[in-house]
Amino acid sequence: MGKPLYALIIAETSGEVDSIKDTLMESGFDLRAAGVMTEREFLEKLYPAPDVIISTDRQEDFSAQQALNLLQALEQEIPFIVVSGPIGEERAVALVKQGVDELLL
């Protein structure tokens, strides 16, 4: 078996983190994941670098946009996926222009 996928998951609650982990494992990924809810936790979990960052777009204290800004400021090139409910075309376009690699509604 290959190397496990290291996913850094940004979400509002531990339940959301667990839901994303479950979905990835059900999809067949050999997963090693860390969930974060704050900027401090995010920065601590960036080393060693994750294979992918997955963020919900609902958290109030630490948003996907804030995480992406930090990632870019640190000049880290890690695939960044946002998982969201309906957010409107304007918000979706803004996230993609900012550098989100994939937006899953």
Q: Residue 7 pairs with which residues in a beta bridge?
A: 33, 52
The predicted model gives 81-97 an average pLDDT of 80
- Residue 89 has phi, psi (to 5 degrees) of -65, -40
The model's pTM is 0.89
| Of 81, 69, 80, 78, nearest in space to 39 by CA | 69
Tell me the C-alpha distance between 35 and 5, whole Å: 14
**Residue 1 binned pLDDT confidence (cut-offs 50, 70, 90):** low
Start-to-end CA distance of the chain, whole Å, equals: 31
